[in-house]
C-alpha cells in the first residue's frame, strides 16, 4: 500500500444551494466517504474539511477534493497538490472555469431535471437521487483506493465507452464502474475535443487500442459540436462505424439504449430512425434496447470471447425447421406484449402449426443466439406489436431482413405483422415490404392470422 494520503475537502461554493445547506451536505459526504474508504483500505482514514488552501502544509502529499457549484471560481493554487478531484454540484457556467476542471477527475453529484434544472443529489433523496448519491460516493472512495490501496487485478483488454450527453452521465458511470471493477481499462481517459476533426483523430487513436466499443444513446440528440452538424454521440458512432469498416470486423460494437427511454426530442427520434434503417451506421455493431443488467452481462461475454452467438449450436428451436413436412412459425414479441402474445401463440398451435417464440434466456448472448436460430430455421415469421416501441419494431424487422446472415437458406413462406393502431405508420411500411399486415382488433386478429398461415 502506498503512503496514506492527506485528504482535504475544500468548499468552493455558496453556503446554500436552493434548499440544500452546503455545510451540512459536506459533513454528510465526508462522514460517508471516510466510512467507505476505511472499509476498503482496512484501516482508519482521516479527511479534514478546510476553508482555505493555506491550511495545506505539504501540497505534494495532499489530495484536494473540492466542492464546486455552478458559479464557483477555481484557485490556481490547486495545481500544486498531488491530486485534484472535483465534486460538482451543478454544471459550471463559466467556460474558463470548466476548462480548469476538465483535466482532473470529476464526480457529478447532481442530476438535470426537466422542471427544475440541476438538482443536488442527497443521501436521503427521493426516487433514484439517494441511490445515485451513494453510488457516486462509492466511486469517489474507489478513486482514492485505486492509488493508495492494494492494486486490483487488471485485465489487458480495453473498452471504448463513448462519451454521452450530460443527462446520461449517470448511466455511463454505472457501466464504467462495472467494467473497471472487473479489471478492464476504459477509454477515453479525458474529454474528447469539441471540434470534429480533432475529435475524430482522438476517437480513432483510442479505437486502435480497444477490444470492444460501447455507445450509450439517451433521450436527446445533444448539441452540435464545433465545425460539425453532428452531436458528439452521433460523431463517435460514425467514426467507429467507419473504423469497423476499414478494420474488417476486428472491433466489436454495442449501440445501446434503455428500453425505458421515452424519446420526445424530434432530432433524436429522427437519428434513431436513421440508425436502424442504415446498415452503414451500425457497422460492426448490434443495436440493443435491453435492461442495463443484460447489457453488462453481454459486454463481459464479448470480452471473455463468448461473443454474440457462441451458444448458437447448443440452443434448440421449438419448431421442426426446414427439413420437416410440418409448418413451423416463429412469433416475435416484446416482453411488454407477452400476455397478448401468449393468446396468439395458443391460437396458432390450435391450427396445427409448431411454434417458436421470443424468449429471455440465462444471458443476453443466449437470448440473441436463440432469436437468430429461430429466424434461420422457422418457415414463417409473425411480428407482434402493441406496447412495443417503434424503435424495437424497426430493429426486429431489420433482424428478419438479415436472416440469411444467420444461416437462413430460403425465403419465409410468410411474414406477418400484427399491430395495434399505435403502429399505423410502421404497418404501412411493412405492407410495402411484403408483410401480411393484420390489425389488432378485439381478438379477431388470431383468426385472420391462422388463415394467413394456412394459406
- Of the candidates 93, 124, 151, which is a domain's last residue? 151
pLDDT tens string, the chain, 455 residues long: the values are: 456 778 999 999 887 877 788 889 999 999 889 888 887 777 788 888 888 888 888 888 889 999 998 888 999 888 888 888 999 998 888 888 887 887 678 888 988 776 777 888 888 754 556 677 888 888 888 888 777 765 555 567 899 999 999 888 888 988 988 888 788 999 998 889 889 999 999 999 999 999 999 999 999 999 999 878 899 999 999 999 999 999 877 888 999 998 878 888 999 999 988 887 788 898 888 888 877 877 888 888 888 876 554 333 333 444 433 333 356 899 999 888 889 899 888 888 887 778 899 887 666 667 777 888 889 888 899 999 998 888 888 888 888 887 876 778 788 888 999 998 888 889 998 888 889 999 988 777 877 887 777 76
| 205, 128: one domain | no
Please tell me the total count of domains within the chain.
3
CATH number (domain holding residue 254): 3.40.50.300
Secondary structure, 3-state, 261-326: CCCCCHHHHHHHHHHHHCHHHHCCEEEECCCHHHHHHHHHHHHCCCCCCCCHHHCCCCCCCCCCCC
| 55, 101: one domain | yes
| 370, 291: one domain | no
3-state secondary structure of 20: strand
How would DSSP label each residue in 75-115?
-GGGGGSSEEEEEESS--S-HHHHHHHHTSEEEE-EEEETT
| 168, 296: one domain | yes
CA distances from 57 to 67, 85, 104 (A): 20, 18, 22
Query: What's the confidence (pLDDT) of residue 363?
Result: 61
CATH number (domain holding residue 144): 3.40.50
- What is the rounded CA–CA span in Å between residue 215 and residue 405? 24
What range does the domain containing 342 cover?
A: 312-454
- Bond from prior residue into 188 cis (ω within 30 degrees of 0): yes
Query: What's the confidence (pLDDT) of residue 445?
Result: 83
Q: Which residues contact 210 (CB under 8 A, 6 or more apart)?
A: 158, 159, 160, 187, 251
Query: What's the confidence (pLDDT) of residue 132?
Result: 78
Q: Are 197 and 227 in contact (CB under 8 A)?
A: yes
| 18, 61: one domain | yes
Report which DSSP code applies to 195: B
Query: What's the confidence (pLDDT) of residue 451?
Result: 79
- What is the rounded CA–CA span in Å between residue 94 and residue 101? 11
- What is the rounded CA–CA span in Å between residue 37 and residue 54? 25
Evaluate if pTM is beyond 0.85: no
CATH number (domain holding residue 355): 3.40.50.10140
Sign of CA dihedral 275, 279, 280, 283: positive
Burial class (CB in 10 A: 0-12, 13-18, 19+), 440: buried
| 378, 343: one domain | yes
Q: Which of 59, 48, 61 is nearest to 2 (CA)?
A: 61
How would DSSP label each residue in 382-439?
EEEESSS-HHHHHHHHHHHHTGGGGT--S--SEEEEEE-GGGHHHHHHHHHTT-EEEE
| 144, 229: one domain | no
| 18, 135: one domain | yes
| 145, 219: one domain | no
| 179, 106: one domain | no
| 164, 239: one domain | yes
- Of the candidates 264, 280, 307, which is a domain's last residue? 307
C-alpha cell at 286: 448490434
Instruction: Report, in this order, helix, strand and coil percent for the chain, each rounded to 5.
Output: 45, 20, 35
| 271, 344: one domain | no
Amino acid at each position: 500500500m502506498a503512503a496514506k494520503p492527506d485528504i482535504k475537502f475544500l468548499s468552493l461554493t455558496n453556503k446554500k444551494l436552493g434548499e440544500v445547506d452546503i455545510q451540512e451536505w459536506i459533513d454528510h459526504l465526508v462522514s460517508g466517504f471516510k466510512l467507505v474508504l476505511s472499509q476498503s483500505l482496512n484501516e482508519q482514514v482521516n479527511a479534514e474539511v478546510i476553508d482555505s488552501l493555506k491550511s495545506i502544509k505539504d501540497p505534494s502529499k495532499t489530495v484536494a477534493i473540492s466542492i464546486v457549484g455552478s458559479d464557483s471560481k477555481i484557485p490556481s493554487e490547486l495545481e500544486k497538490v498531488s491530486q485534484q478531484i472535483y465534486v460538482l454540484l451543478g454544471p459550471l457556467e463559466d467556460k474558463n472555469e470548466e476548462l480548469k476542471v476538465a483535466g482532473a477527475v470529476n464526480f457529478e453529484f447532481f442530476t438535470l431535471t426537466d422542471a427544475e434544472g440541476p438538482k443536488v443529489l442527497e443521501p436521503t433523496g427521493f426516487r433514484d437521487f439517494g441511490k445515485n448519491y451513494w453510488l457516486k460516493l462509492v466511486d469517489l472512495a474507489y478513486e482514492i483506493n485505486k492509488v493508495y490501496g492494494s492494486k486490483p487485478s487488471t485485465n489487458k483488454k480495453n473498452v471504448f465507452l463513448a462519451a454521452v450527453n450530460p443527462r446520461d452521465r449517470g448511466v455511463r458511470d454505472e457501466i464504467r464502474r462495472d467494467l473497471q471493477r472487473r479489471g478492464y481499462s476504459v477509454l477515453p481517459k479525458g474529454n474528447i475535443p469539441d471540434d470534429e476533426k480533432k475529435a475524430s483523430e482522438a476517437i480513432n487513436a483510442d479505437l486502435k487500442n480497444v477490444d470492444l466499443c460501447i455507445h450509450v444513446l439517451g433521450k436527446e440528440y445533444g448539441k452540435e459540436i464545433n465545425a460539425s452538424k453532428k452531436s458528439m454521440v452521433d460523431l463517435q458512432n460514425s467514426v467507429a462505424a467507419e473504423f469497423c469498416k476499414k478494420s474488417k470486423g476486428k472491433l466489436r460494437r454495442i449501440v445501446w439504449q434503455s428500453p425505458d427511454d421515452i424519446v420526445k426530442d424530434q432530432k433524436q427520434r429522427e437519428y434513431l430512425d436513421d440508425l436502424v434503417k442504415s446498415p452503414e451506421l451500425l457497422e460492426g455493431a448490434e443495436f440493443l434496447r435491453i435492461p442495463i443488467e443484460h447489457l453488462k452481462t453481454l459486454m463481459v461475454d464479448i470480452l471473455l470471447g463468448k461473443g454474440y452467438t457462441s451458444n448458437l449450436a447448443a440452443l434448440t428451436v421449438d419448431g421442426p425447421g426446414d427439413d420437416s413436412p410440418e409448418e413451423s412459425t416463429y412469433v416475435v414479441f416484446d416482453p411488454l406484449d407477452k400476455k397478448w402474445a401468449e393468446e396468439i401463440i395458443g391460437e396458432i398451435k390450435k391450427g396445427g402449426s409448431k411454434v417458436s417464440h421470443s424468449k429471455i434466456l440465462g444471458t443476453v448472448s443466449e437470448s440473441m443466439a436463440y432469436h437468430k436460430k429461430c429466424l434461420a430455421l422457422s418457415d414463417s415469421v409473425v411480428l407482434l406489436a402493441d406496447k412495443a416501441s417503434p424503435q424495437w419494431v424497426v430493429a426486429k424487422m431489420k433482424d428478419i431482413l438479415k436472416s440469411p446472415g444467420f444461416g437462413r437458406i430460403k425465403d419465409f413462406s410468410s411474414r406477418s405483422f400484427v399491430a395495434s393502431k399505435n403502429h399505423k405508420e410502421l404497418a404501412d411500411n411493412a405492407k410495402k415490404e411484403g408483410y401480411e399486415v393484420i390489425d389488432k382488433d378485439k381478438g379477431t386478429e388470431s383468426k385472420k392470422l391462422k388463415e394467413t398461415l394456412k394459406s
